[in-house]
A = this chain, B = another copy of it.
């Protein structure tokens, strides 16, 4: 009954097999191999336009390089107050951008509130050197707390981005989970709504190490080859990331894995909704379920073999968790089995 995180799962057999197949022979290192090139072209098809794509080793690297690509002196990027890049990357975005700031924007359900966003951006008048300069907006899809930006919500933020001429980045560590939940295509969930840069994560969804940073406008990435190398993110045997994507994207495997994870989350959510001793913190829309229960109950569950983590209650919702209660996060993945879910909900009581 492991719901700790989707990165506790291993790799899908098809991914592992692809790594085995790619092992033989000589090929150009540093992203120049035929396989690298082939997968790059496949990303063009996936996004229905010519994109610039960069393979990197972690989601943190993808997010941080996205901001580094659009960096400017005194730059400030706007993200949700509890965004992963703000709360869980140990300051990597600031490191990669030499200290450009992440400005927190409040909003319910893990999503940036457009009015708050506008108000925060307005604090940076053009050419006013004291405040700094707006530089980017970043949203997370699915969000850090398992909710989803609806297409019109993305469009509303993209509208603001466009008004202030700011690039819009999407942290897609769980891109596939969001995509399948919303039944959109990659193009529909990104540039057709105004998203400029996507951190296209595959590690959490069945790869062992495969993250792609995708620029809808390749010109925006013109310095990135140097920035990436300098950040130690240019893998010498990069074909081994390419081959993971090859299997991942083949015949819709990635969508199938995400659908499975989402279905397991829905099953889990259903179980919790029917539980007497646990309540849902909010409606889960992808592969993460958040629940509130007594700390003692949570402890018992863990003693009985359930694996999950407590979670900081959102600042926007300070009354969510009563004394003696705890907010917990339950994550499903391609590797979650229905039996595990059912066993867990049975334990919940």
Residues on A lying within 8 angstroms of B by beta carbon are: 2, 4-5, 7-13, 15-17, 19-20, 22-30, 56-61, 64, 72-76, 87-92, 94-102, 104, 123, 127, 129-133, 203-204, 208-209, 223, 225-237, 239-240, 307, 312, 335
Q: Which B residues lie within 8 Å of A59 (CB)?
A: 236
Question: How far is B20's CA from A26's CA once the two chains are assembled, in angstroms?
Answer: 21
Which of B10, B30, B235 is in CB contact (< 8 Å) with A57? B235
Question: How far is B237's CA from A99's CA once the two chains are assembled, in angstroms?
Answer: 27
Which of B17, B72, B98, B230 is in CB contact (< 8 Å) with A226? B72
Q: Which B residues lie within 8 Å of A96 (CB)?
A: 232
Known contacts A10-B26, A232-B61; is-contact A17 B19 (Cβ 8 Å): no
Residue pair A74, B129 in contact (C-beta under 8 Å): no
Q: Which B residues lie within 8 Å of A26 (CB)?
A: 2, 4, 8-10, 307, 335
Residue pair A208, B240 in contact (C-beta under 8 Å): yes
Residue pair A236, B7 in contact (C-beta under 8 Å): yes
Residue pair A235, B209 in contact (C-beta under 8 Å): yes
Residue pair B231, A232 in contact (C-beta under 8 Å): yes
Residue pair A94, B101 in contact (C-beta under 8 Å): yes
Nearest CB on B from A1, distance (A): 10
Majority-rule SS of A interface residues: loop
Query: Residue among A30, A58, A208 with the most chain B CB within 10 A?
Result: A208
Residue pair B91, A99 in contact (C-beta under 8 Å): yes
Which of B10, B16, B223, B312 is in CB contact (< 8 Å) with A73? B223
Q: What are 6 sample pairs from A and B whose C-beta atoms fall under 8 A apart?
A: A10-B25, A19-B20, A57-B209, A64-B232, A95-B230, A99-B99
Question: How far is B232's CA from A97's CA once the two chains are assembled, in angstroms?
Answer: 13
Nearest CB on B from A262, distance (A): 19
Residue pair B100, A101 in contact (C-beta under 8 Å): no
Which of B5, B223, B236 is in CB contact (< 8 Å) with A29? B5
Question: How far is B99's CA from A102's CA once the two chains are assembled, in angstroms?
Answer: 10
Residue pair A232, B101 in contact (C-beta under 8 Å): no
